[in-house]
């Protein structure tokens, strides 16, 4: 048997690790900043680029795609070469993947603080960047599949199954959710509207967590945990069950983010059923990881790499039990829109993703630099500080979530809300926000310690850029016998096709009826398209990230209808591109705010929130009073909306600016007539604040006195 000599490429792995560390620190610092802003609003600094609504999507994108994304690429590029006994298919594609991904991250870091956003959770980046993501993801896929096809190891190890599922599923999710109608170079509207947009978004959002933050990291777990422990994976059969059941079931669970909303009940029920089913494969994977360490617990006590991985896998188990439990309607009724969800998300983010990334980097840097870790003691200190940070972060958020929900729902014996002022519920949990920031600061401190440790490790070693190995050439031969799955593992094209079919079934069954059966989204005859001024105001609302703190979805609970007004109907959102239901109530729901507050109240509130709401943690928006809009900007937006099916009349653009200015002048007159102090103030009708107020005043008024849902014929 002739052995071929070849080399593994460690340079690309090092590059992704450096990016992981740098962007991880940046993402965590931004996260700490917005955590402090929730109890110290002055940290918003009174400028647009550092306001909570603009920084929050920057934080989530930096952690998900920059920190975790780069760590996944580093782990995949390292493990794939060794599992397949082959250098990556193309060094050039590897570097295109690296630099393309970093440019996408930089583009996100520039556009999001500028308010250039689609507002869709985990998919906020605008259409040119979406196209770039697609191209770079295809480059990654070609490089991975090319490496698999030229492999010298016939058998595809379990980690590779998860890498394949990640590539094909993320591609499908991203493309389907990113259908949008460009208006300008950096502005678009979602192709979908209202209920349909919500379903597609949370099909994407839930499965972005599943197939970007979970399946690739599970693949890394299956490689690095046994390597670090020097033990074989506990159960091959359990790996098979874990993989196929997980990728098939996960894709159905997205609607559990939309329980008690205007989504059709059958879709909500499907999401709940499959979410509960997810417990079995998720815990199967967790147990397979932890039981791999049987007989190696003495090593766990000594090795910081294994410490991080044990806590990571345990956090994965906790999050994947809690997620299905949160999909039960009785628990969801309490937890949704509250800080409980923030705790749940960060158990996964800080514990599962963060600690797995830390463990992998502590493993890889000494290996590639042919030395020992600079300081095991410092790594162990990082472990305990990081673990303490997670606990101090999450526990107050669980308490805050329960406190919020109980206060929102509490009635007096006379049937009145005990806490009718939403601000009372905010002030009650401010101490928990302080504790969360302390936990986040501890976690960031640990990451800084790790960065120092890794740099010192690199300096004391010698980097091995091309690591030599040898293996026999893979010979083509007829497969005879063997376990059915072992046969499948030798046929990457068949394997990939079956995985693609498995992830496609759930999405098709949920979405096709919602789009094709008219009764799933009944219309309301009184609901009309937004006026030009309201459309412009809605875009400002999106730009400022208002939906990060305010929902527009009143659920059919007595506590919500008494507080906010009539519950939300599916037909009210048919012209909403994109939907703005929100996922967190840091402030009150706004779906019926047009019936409750005056134009002058909004004017004063946006300039100085505490002037109308003492104790408010909302930042002021002085730039809205200074920025002037050219009314002609709305014309291409109306044209784009018409292309999406919004019934603006042909040729409406000819009078749209006239309508815009007429309504703007009316809003200005209302503001001045309602507040004597503002009577002599100069309020420019073309200012952004006027457009935003027009949009807020519109909310909820379409069905006033006409809430019966009737199909428009």
Residue 333 binned pLDDT confidence (cut-offs 50, 70, 90): very high
pLDDT in tens, 461-470: 999 999 999 9
pTM > 0.85: yes or no? yes
- In sequence order, the 6+-apart residues with CB closer than 8 A to the CB of 198 are 258, 261, 262, 263, 573, 579, 581
Nearest to 205 by CA among 579, 603, 654: 579
Domains, the chain, with CATH or none: 8-476+485-511 (1.20.210.10), 532-698 (1.10.760.10)
578: preceding bond cis by omega (within 30 degrees):
yes
Q: Residue 298 pLDDT more than 60?
A: yes
Going by the annotation, the residues of the binding site are: 59, 206, 256-257, 344, 346
Question: What is the rounded average pLDDT of the residues 571-599?
Answer: 95
- Three-state DSSP state, 471: strand
Residue 91 binned pLDDT confidence (cut-offs 50, 70, 90): very high
pLDDT at 519: 67
Summarize the chain as % helix, strand, coil (round to 5).
65, 5, 30
Residue 708 binned pLDDT confidence (cut-offs 50, 70, 90): very low
The three state secondary structure string of 171-193 is: HHHHHHHCCEEEEECCEEEECCC
As a whole number of angstroms, the distance between CA 517 and CA 27 comes to: 42
pLDDT in tens, 641-662: 999 999 999 999 999 999 999 9
Going by the annotation, the residues of the binding site for heme b are: 59, 344, 346
Going by the annotation, the residues of the binding site for Cu cation are: 206, 256-257
Provide, rounded to the nearest whole percent, the portion of the chain with pLDDT above 70.
97
- In sequence order, the 6+-apart residues with CB closer than 8 A to the CB of 499 are 161, 164, 165, 168, 247
| Strand-pair partners of 81 | none
Question: Among 19-23, 552-556, 685-689, 707-711, whose mean pLDDT is lowest?
Answer: 707-711
Q: Given phi > 0 = left and psi -120 to 50 = alpha, else beta, which region is 155?
A: beta
Residue tagged 């340079």 (tokens): 11
As a whole number of angstroms, the distance between CA 569 and CA 195 comes to: 10
pLDDT in tens, 142-187: 999 999 999 999 889 999 999 999 999 999 999 999 999 999 999 9
φ, ψ of residue 295 to 5 degrees: the values are 80, 0
Residue 478 binned pLDDT confidence (cut-offs 50, 70, 90): low
Total Cβ atoms within 10 A of residue 566 = 16
Q: Residue 713 pLDDT more than 50?
A: no
| Strand-pair partners of 182 | 188
Both structure tokens of 208? 């972005």
Residue 296 binned pLDDT confidence (cut-offs 50, 70, 90): confident
pLDDT at 533: 98
Question: What is the rounded average pLDDT of the residues 624-642?
Answer: 97
């Amino acid at each position: 048997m002739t052995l071929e000599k070849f080399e593994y490429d460690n340079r690309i792995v090092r590059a992704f690790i450096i990016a992981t560390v740098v962007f991880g620190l940046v993402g965590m610092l931004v996260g700490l900043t917005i955590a402090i802003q929730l109890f110290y609003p002055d940290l918003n600094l009174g400028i647009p680029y550092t306001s909570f609504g603009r920084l929050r999507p920057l934080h989530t994108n930096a952690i998900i795609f920059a920190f975790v994304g780069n760590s996944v690429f580093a782990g995949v590029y390292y493990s794939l070469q060794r599992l397949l006994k082959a250098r990556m298919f193309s060094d050039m594609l590897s570097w295109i993947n690296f630099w393309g991904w970093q440019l996408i991250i930089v583009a996100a870091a520039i556009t999001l603080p500028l308010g250039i956003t689609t507002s869709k959770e985990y998919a906020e980046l605008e259409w040119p960047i979406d196209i770039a993501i697609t191209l770079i993801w295809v480059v990654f896929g070609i490089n991975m599949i090319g490496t698999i096809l030229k492999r010298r190891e016939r058998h595809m190890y379990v980690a590779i199954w998860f890498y394949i599922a990640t590539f094909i599923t993320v591609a499908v999710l991203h493309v389907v959710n990113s259908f949008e109608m460009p208006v300008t170079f950096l502005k678009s509207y979602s192709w979908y509207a209202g209920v349909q947009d919500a379903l597609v978004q949370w099909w994407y959002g839930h499965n972005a967590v599943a197939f970007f933050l979970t399946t690739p990291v599970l693949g890394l777990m299956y490689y690095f945990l046994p390597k670090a422990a020097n033990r074989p994976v506990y159960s091959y059969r359990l790996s098979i069950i874990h993989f196929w059941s997980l990728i098939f079931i996960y894709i159905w669970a997205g609607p559990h983010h939309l329980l008690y909303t205007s989504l059709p009940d059958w879709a909500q029920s499907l999401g709940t059923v499959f979410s509960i089913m997810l417990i079995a494969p998720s815990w199967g994977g967790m147990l397979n990881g932890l039981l791999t360490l049987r007989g190696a617990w003495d090593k766990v006590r000594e090795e910081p790499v294994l410490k991080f991985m044990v806590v990571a896998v345990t956090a994965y188990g906790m999050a994947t039990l809690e997620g299905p439990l949160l999909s039960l309607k009785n628990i969801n009724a309490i937890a949704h829109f509250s800080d409980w969800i923030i705790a749940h998300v960060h158990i996964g983010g800080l514990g599962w993703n963060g600690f797995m990334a830390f463990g992998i980097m502590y493993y890889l840097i000494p290996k590639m630099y042919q030395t020992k870790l600079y300081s095991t003691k410092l790594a162990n200190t990082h472990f305990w500080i990081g673990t303490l940070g997670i606990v101090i972060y999450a526990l107050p958020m669980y308490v805050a979530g329960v406190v919020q929900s109980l206060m929102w729902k509490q009635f007096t014996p006379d049937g009145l809300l005990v806490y009718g002022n939403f601000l009372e519920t905010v002030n009650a949990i401010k101490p928990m926000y302080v504790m969360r920031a302390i936990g986040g600061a501890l976690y960031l401190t640990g990451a800084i310690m790790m960065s120092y440790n890794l740099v010192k490790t690199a300096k004391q070693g010698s980097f091995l850029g091309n690591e030599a190995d040898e293996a026999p050439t893979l010979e083509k031969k007829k497969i005879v016998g063997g376990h059915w799955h072992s046969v499948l593992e030798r046929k990457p094209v068949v394997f990939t096709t079956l995985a693609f079919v498995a992830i496609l079934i759930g999405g098709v069954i949920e979405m096709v009826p919602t789009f094709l059966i008219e009764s799933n989204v009944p219309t309301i005859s009184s609901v009309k398209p937004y006026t030009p001024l309201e459309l412009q105001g809605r875009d400002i609302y999106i730009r400022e990230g208002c939906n990060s703190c305010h929902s527009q979805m009143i659920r059919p609970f007595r506590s919500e209808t008494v507080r906010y007004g009539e519950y939300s109907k599916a037909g009210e959102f048919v012209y909403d591109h994109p939907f703005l239901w929100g996922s967190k109530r840091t402030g009150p729901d706004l779906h019926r705010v047009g019936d409750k507050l005056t134009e002058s109240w909004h004017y004063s509130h946006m300039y100085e929130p505490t002037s109308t709401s003492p104790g408010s943690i909302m930042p002021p928006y002085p730039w809205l009073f200074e920025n002037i809009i050219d009314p002609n900007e709305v014309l291409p937006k109306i044209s784009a909306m018409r292309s999406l099916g919004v019934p603006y009349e042909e040729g409406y653009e000819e009078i749209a600016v006239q309508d815009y200015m007429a309504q703007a002048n009316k809003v200005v007159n209302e503001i001045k007539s309602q507040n004597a102090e503002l009577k002599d103030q100069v309020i420019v009708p073309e200012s952004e604040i006027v457009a935003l107020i027009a949009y807020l005043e519109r909310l909820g008024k379409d069905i006033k006195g006409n809430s019966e849902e009737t199909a428009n014929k």
